[in-house]
């Protein structure tokens, strides 16, 4: 499924179920809770880790839709930008960006 399609479907589901579609701060709070659930599922090696990651994505997609952002477009731009960046490891072996691109 394409990101844009998932974004629209996530938004439609929120509207159909009567979930939050206007309070951006609340949506960020709920997203934070979903990230916590995903972390717990990963840490405890629970079988629903993938489902929890999907929840995180759907909250991000809804936030994008709430704010008129084409997430498919933004992700494409960000991947291209990241590909142009150059990193070198410092003395501790930590990658440090040396070229923005």
**pTM assigned to the model:** 0.88
- What confidence score (pLDDT) does residue 101 get? 73
Q: Domains in the chain, start-ordered, CATH in brackets?
A: 3-99 (1.10.287.1080)
- What confidence score (pLDDT) does residue 35 get? 98
Structure tokens of 59? 């909250």
Q: Where are the beta strands (DSSP E) in the chain?
A: 86-89, 95-99
Counting DSSP H helices and E strands in the chain, the numbers are 4, 2
Note the pLDDT tens digit of each residue in 38-97: 999 999 999 999 999 999 999 999 999 999 999 999 999 999 999 999 999 999 999 999
């Amino acid at each position: 499924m394409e990101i844009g399609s998932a974004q629209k479907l996530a938004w439609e589901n929120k509207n159909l179920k009567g979930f939050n579609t206007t309070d951006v701060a609340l949506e960020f709070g709920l997203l934070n809770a979903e990230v916590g659930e995903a972390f717990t599922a990963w840490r405890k090696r629970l079988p629903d880790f993938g489902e929890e990651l999907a929840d995180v994505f759907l909250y991000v997609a809804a936030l994008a839709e709430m704010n008129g952002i084409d997430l498919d477009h933004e992700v494409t731009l960000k991947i291209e930008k990241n590909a142009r960046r150059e990193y070198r490891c410092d003395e501790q072996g930590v990658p440090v960006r040396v070229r923005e691109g």
